[in-house]
A and B are shown apart, each in its own frame.
Chain A
Amino acid sequence: MMLKYVVKRLLGLVPTLLIVAVLVFLFVHLLPGDPARLAAGPDADAQTVELVRQDLGLDRPMTEQFVSYFSRALHGDFGRSIRTKRPVMDEIAERFMPTLLLTVWSMAWSVVFGLAIGILSAVFRNRWPDRVGMALAVSGISLPSFALGMFLIEVFSVELGWLPTVGAGSWKHYVLPSFTLGAGVAAVLARFARASFADILHEDYIRTARAKGLGEVAVVLKHGLRNALVPVITMMGLQFGFLLGGSIVVEKVFNWPGMGRLLVDAMDMHDYPVIQAEVLLFSLEFILINLAVDVLYGAINPVIRYE
């Protein structure tokens, strides 16, 4: 049943990606400004701009560009970057892991801390652990990540000298950016887990379990966790997108050699091939995460049936 569902969803992925591909192609051509003029630079005259246009293949009619983009993309060839003339796949390959690791680490610590704070707050509702936990959680979502990042660099790199500022070479490099990126998510998860648990802890079966004389810890973990996780997992899926997006800002602050920064640069320069390939990749990543969320859903809550 579940396997069939997964296969079906994977097949459903193809049309989504095609739609995304078409939309992105249209999107890049909607961007205001002539990419050849941008690529040619501040010293170029009109004749040079025309040379650059021919070089980039932008002098050909739109339909022709569209067809060649698609046929090449189907063969895994996304062309060369307008900005650096490197193959787009090379550009992205170099940046894929730093961004993936950054988001995964951010997710990992924020899930652990978010859930822990959320559960504690729900159990000790309206008592001091709840208040401290929620105060932390509220602070976490109330600060823009670039301000938090700036503050962390100032304190831990500049004043204390404990951690490096730029680069992605060692685990030390991951501490500040993943904390910055994950803070918002941890806070959201903590609040959501608390809300979700608070609901569950008032359900009849929990009361029954308590009445049966089970310890509070056992009640929470055995009966509460599973049911409360359903909305929390949805939230995780949603937050992954937030992390991918948030990495754009955080990568800029920490000079992170990842895909987010590449995308902003590409957008600035109207680097069509890079934008197209990156957005496709982002979308693929994201759809796969959502699929995983839906599958987890079923594993945790058998009430939901796969259609």
Chain B
Amino acid sequence: MKFAPRLRPAMLALVLASSGLPAPGWAAGKEVVMAVASTFTTMDPYDANDTLSLSVHKAFYEGLYGFDKDMKVVPVLAESHVVSPDGLTYTFKLRKGVKFHDGTDFGADAVKANLDRVTNPDNRLKRFNLFSNVARTESVDAHTVRITLKKPFSAFLNVLAHPSAVFISPAALKQYGNTESAFHPVGTGPFTFVEWKQTDHVKVARNERYWRPGLPHVDTIVFRPVVDNNTRSAVLKTGEAHFAFPVPYEQAAVLQATPGLDVLSGPSIIARYMTMNVLKKPFDDVRVRHAVNYAINKEALAKVAFAGFAVPSEGVVPPGVEYAVKLGPWPYDPKKARELLKEAGYEKGFESELWSAYTHTTAQKVIQFLQQQLAQVGIKVRVQALEAGQRVERVESVQRPQEAGVQLYYVGWSSSTGEADWALRPLLASESWPPRLFNTAYYKKEQVDAAIRRALATTDRSEKAAAYRDAQEQIWKDAPWAFLVTEKILYARSKRLSGVDVLPDGAFDFVEAELK
């Protein structure tokens, strides 16, 4: 989508006027202010479960691997790795000459200390399950580390590229302890931690000894949560922030028309879909599930609810995720939907209930849109947007499948490891029925389970790709979901700012930030 830049005299006057305004805090060198959507939960990457906090951690923490702009795994603190043929042992050569902010050296002992910490259940860290497959970590020499897994797990490099898998200075861990180290982050990253004012901001300053020469370009970055969507757009327009993510879809055009601002959109790996509980009538009938898929105009959905910043789903897994297979989009054909319903014995339609996992504006629009669309083929749904607590109680913590009240459920997922395993297994494997993980369709197919297992056990890329293709094709055919759209990432930044972008997983990258 392109925006025609349009100058409004009032806005122009504003910019001219605001250049003469004293802007608090800007005087101190090059300071970048980034407006983000919610408050930070923790500065401990192993205890963080929100993409936003983890994004900020990237200022002061780094891992062995990371993701580039296309979600490809790239080495950061690792130089190379070797996997044993059985897929159980990973040996890494570490980068030399990297120092933590406290002056200590980064090396094998740091990797060991951090992995030992998270895999110890006594530390009760929220990222425990990401690393629970690690059997032991050994330092071979100062810059070589060997990690042994409990069972083969071919997505392990992606796990190490996850923003949680970063390294805290062992000295700091020792000094502050398991809980308090969250308030005193000491890492190897391009910025050092300055302060975390819970109410207002997180501030970081340039790491003078950063191992990548010439970086960073700016002196300080302030991450400021601005929760309200409209207010977040407003601080961009007033110049109180240089960057805002996310930008409400509805305001993209208005922001683009503001001089001095760029509105940018990029692909994401955030899939939006509606699960259908296959244990329940009428969704136990594959014809009904196909009918629901045919009944929904995905193009119109992208236009109505996402202001065009979404594309119809092209498969089970969004294209940006490794091993995704293009299978669609599912055609819009309400006539065929009615035929299928008739075949399945629901000529007069039926009634059902649609819950949304979120209450925000876009989700409200989506469920109302789905309600309108399904009504066209005779499916009358009542819609309800669940608050977080209700969502947990009614969907995620339900102990027995037969007690689940969920019928249609609108939700989304982003594979935080950028890989097909974490896009399929938690959502569609039979081992992942609530309350264990999030298979809210209660889908169970031996063929899919087997393919997912097979892909994890092999170290051969083509074998893995074949297994994932097999799983995705089967799921598409069974349609336990209505495959809706893949979101686009939408953010805005001041024209003075460059080098700050949002990655497809919603994390942002600011290492090369530069302010003119």
Chain B 370-409: CB-based contact to A (< 8 A → 1; otherwise 0): 0000000000000000011111111011000000000000
In chain B, positions 84-133 with a C-beta closer than 8 Å to chain A are: 121, 124-130, 132
A90 to chain B: which residues have CB within 8 Å? 198
Given known pairs A40-B49, A45-B129, A270-B389, the reply for A252 and B124 (CB within 8 Å) is no
Q: Nearest CB to that of B241 among chain A residues?
A: A166
CA distance A265 to B38 in the complex (A): 10
State which of A45, A54, A254, A268 has its C-beta within 8 Å of the C-beta of B387.
Answer: A268
> What is the minimal beta-carbon distance from A147 to any residue of chain B, in angstroms?
11
Instruction: Pick the most buried of B50, B127, B198, B437: most chain A CB atoms within 10 A of its CB.
Output: B198
Contact A94 B197 (CB under 8 A): yes
Given known pairs A33-B392, A158-B238, the reply for A253 and B231 (CB within 8 Å) is yes
Q: Nearest CB to that of B24 among chain A residues?
A: A169
CA distance A45 to B121 in the complex (A): 14
Chain B 166-189: CB-based contact to A (< 8 A → 1; otherwise 0): 000000000000010011000000
Instruction: Pick the most buried of A41, A261, A265: most chain B CB atoms within 10 A of its CB.
Output: A41
State which of B18, B227, B238, B437 has its C-beta within 8 Å of the C-beta of A261.
Answer: B227
The answer to whether B27 has its CB under 8 Å from any CB of chain A is: no
> What is the minimal beta-carbon distance from A10 to any residue of chain B, in angstroms?
31
Contact A51 B124 (CB under 8 A): yes
Contact A94 B238 (CB under 8 A): no
Chain A 177-196: CB-based contact to B (< 8 A → 1; otherwise 0): 00000000000000000000
Instruction: Pick the most buried of A43, A44, A48, A84: most chain B CB atoms within 10 A of its CB.
Output: A43
The answer to whether A86 has its CB under 8 Å from any CB of chain B is: yes
Given known pairs A161-B18, A169-B24, the reply for A98 and B199 (CB within 8 Å) is yes
CA distance A87 to B359 in the complex (A): 29
> What is the minimal beta-carbon distance from B183 to any residue of chain A, in angstroms?
8
Q: Nearest CB to that of A254 among chain B residues?
A: B231
Contact B234 A154 (CB under 8 A): yes
Given known pairs A159-B10, A165-B231, A165-B238, the reply for A84 and B126 (CB within 8 Å) is no
CA distance A45 to B436 in the complex (A): 5
> What is the minimal beta-carbon distance from A42 to any residue of chain B, in angstroms?
6
The number of residues on chain B lying at the interface, defined by a beta carbon within 8 Å of a beta carbon of chain A, is: 58
> What is the minimal beta-carbon distance from B387 to any residue of chain A, in angstroms?
7
B394 to chain A: which residues have CB within 8 Å? 32
Q: Nearest CB to that of B200 among chain A residues?
A: A257
B183 to chain A: which residues have CB within 8 Å? 86
State which of A34, A167, A169 has its C-beta within 8 Å of the C-beta of B397.
Answer: A34
B18 to chain A: which residues have CB within 8 Å? 161
Contact B24 A255 (CB under 8 A): no
> What is the minimal beta-carbon distance from A59 to any residue of chain B, in angstroms?
11
In chain A, positions 42-58 with a C-beta closer than 8 Å to chain B are: 42-49, 51-52, 54-55
> What is the minimal beta-carbon distance from B390 to any residue of chain A, in angstroms?
5
> What is the minimal beta-carbon distance from B473 to any residue of chain A, in angstroms?
26
The answer to whether B242 has its CB under 8 Å from any CB of chain A is: no
Chain B 28-69: CB-based contact to A (< 8 A → 1; otherwise 0): 000000000001111000010110000000000000000000
CA distance A51 to B389 in the complex (A): 19
Contact B128 A51 (CB under 8 A): yes
Q: Nearest CB to that of B121 among chain A residues?
A: A51
A34 to chain B: which residues have CB within 8 Å? 392-393, 396-397
The answer to whether B435 has its CB under 8 Å from any CB of chain A is: yes
Instruction: Pick the most buried of A33, A167, A261: most chain B CB atoms within 10 A of its CB.
Output: A33
Between-chain CB contacts (< 8 Å), 17 pairs: A33-B390, A40-B49, A45-B426, A55-B124, A83-B41, A84-B42, A90-B198, A94-B197, A154-B234, A159-B14, A161-B21, A165-B238, A166-B235, A252-B228, A255-B226, A268-B389, A270-B389
Q: Top 5 closest A-B pairs, CB basis?
A: A41-B49, A33-B389, A257-B199, A33-B392, A55-B124
- Name A residues whose Cβ lies closer than 8 Å to a Cβ of B: 31-34, 37-49, 51-52, 54-55, 83-86, 90-91, 94-95, 98, 150, 153-154, 157-161, 164-167, 169-170, 252-255, 257-258, 261-262, 265, 268-270
